[in-house]
Structure 1
């Protein structure tokens, strides 16, 4: 019970920290280009939560590789150097992240 409780608390703290970091980044942007309404901020937080849920099934290495690929536009060899893994392992980690995101998306049938 203690372990389960600790994991739940950790997950709550992690999500709270993610939301706070996102809101702080939005507040600190001085450009009008990045200014957003409260509704836009809420949509962004919902998107972050959805991404968090999608990536929750990944290991920390897989998640790091996926985020380096998608957010930092690093190549597989660059990711491999940064994480201390081979390029083929980096490619598999990114593929697993993409698959998790694909599974999390709900696609409406085209009519």
Structure 2
């Protein structure tokens, strides 16, 4: 069976079940429908669709990753909106600028995904807050040499992602 046919069968047989499972997790039918679609898109764009003995277990695993990313995006958006609420009104970005900034933050978060938390924090302190190596070291309680290693690691991740 062709991979796209496998996904088609998987979709036809289990989409309704997956949407219900997500609706119970989220409590929101619209978000559940969106995340069910995202789950099948991830399956469709994956390297290859494995031969499935337990299709619902497979879909649950993929959906949990999609759900984790959904919650992470929500946390990031909440933190961004909280930061905006503390900004003086005269420097608050427009709605269009907010959308662009939020999208950029989400892409940056995805790009840095998998790096240790301290490496991400060092990178963000340098790039967003403009702190020096010494200031980052003081903030994180690490040496300047470690700050340099962390920033190099994050920079390499960004470089190879491009």
Corresponding position of 2:158: 101
- The answer to whether the aligner puts 1:67 opposite 2:115 as a matched pair is no
1:26-47 deviations in Å (ceiling 9; x for gaps): 456453442403x333222211
The structure showing larger relative contact order (alpha-carbon pairs under 8 Å, at least 6 residues apart) is 1
Gapped regions of structure 1 (runs ≥ 5) = 106-111
Larger radius of gyration: 2
- The answer to whether the aligner puts 1:91 opposite 2:148 as a matched pair is yes
Equivalent residue for 1:51, pick from 108, 123, 126: 108
Distance 1:27 1:34 in 2: 9
Equivalent residue for 1:13, pick from 50, 57, 71: 71
Which stretch of structure 1 is more off in the superposition, 43-52 or 6-15?
6-15
TM-score by length of 1: 0.69
Q: Provide the alpha-carbon RMSD of the alignment.
A: 2.8
1:3, CA displacement in angstroms?
9.1
Distance 2:138 2:61 in 1: 34
Distance 1:12 1:28 in 2: 25
